[in-house]
Chain A
C-alpha cells in the first residue's frame, strides 16, 4: 500500500525560531492535509492542499504541495510555546472514499 515518510520525527527548538517538516510518498497524491494534535486531543486540521505546486498559508503556518505530487512541506514561522504538539501529514489519491494515509508524525517541542 501507499506509505508516507514524515521527517523529522522530533524537533526541539527555541521560541521564535522557524520550523520546517516534510512528508514524502512512494506514490502520487492529489490531496495533502496537515494536522496538529495536542496531548489528549484529536487531530485538528491546519491546512488542506489540492493542487500540485499550491502554496497555502494559515497565519504563521505555510504548506506546499510538491510539484511531483509525492511530497509536501509545512513551515511554521516565529514559533511560540503553544505550537507544541504532534504534526501529521496525510495524503489521498483519487477519491478512495476519503481514505487518508497518515505520516508517523513530527513531535515539536518549543523552549521558551
Chain B
C-alpha cells in the first residue's frame, strides 16, 4: 500500500516551459488536493477535486491547471512556468465523510530559472 505517490521528485524548468506534475493514490479516496509550500508560509491550496469529475480553485490557482483523470489520479499542469512558481508541491487525498484527515505525498521540488 503506497498511499500517495508523486512524480517527479525534482524538476528544473526554464521560464516559459511547461510541465505536468503527477499524483496518484491507492486508498480509494474521493477527494484530492494540490498544495504549494514556500518558506515561512505553510501550505497553500492551489486546486482541489472533491470527487472524480470535479475540480475547483483553491487559494492560489493562478498559473496552474488540473485534471482529475480518474479516481486515483490528479495532475497539476504549469503551462508557462515562472520563477514565482519555484516551490515544493504536495499532493494529498482524503476519504469522504466525517473524517477530514488528509494524507500527503512526498512532494515535488520545482525550480524555475
Contacts and interface: CB of A to CB of B under 8 A. Distances in A.
Interface of A: 1, 4, 6, 31, 33, 35, 40-45, 48, 50, 88, 90, 92, 97-100, 102-105
**Which residue, of B33, B41, B101, B107, has the highest number of chain A Cβ atoms within 10 A?**
B101
A48 B100 contact: yes
A47 to B, nearest CB: 10
Pairs A-B, 9 closest by C-beta atoms? A42-B104, A102-B42, A97-B50, A31-B100, A102-B43, A98-B94, A104-B42, A43-B104, A92-B100
Interface in B12-61: 31, 33, 40-45, 48, 50, 56, 58-59
B42 A103 contact: yes
B42 A1 contact: no
Interface size class of B (residues with CB under 8 A): 20 to 34
B74 interface: no
B100 A33 contact: yes
B36 to A, nearest CB: 11
A98 B107 contact: no
Interface of B: 4, 31, 33, 40-45, 48, 50, 56, 58-59, 90, 92, 94, 98-107
A42 B48 contact: no
Contacts of A48: 99-101
B110 to A, nearest CB: 14
Given A41-B107, A43-B43, A88-B43, A100 B102 contact: yes
B45 A100 contact: yes
A33 B101 contact: yes
A45 B98 contact: no
Contacts of B50: 97-98
Contacts of B102: 33, 45, 90, 98, 100
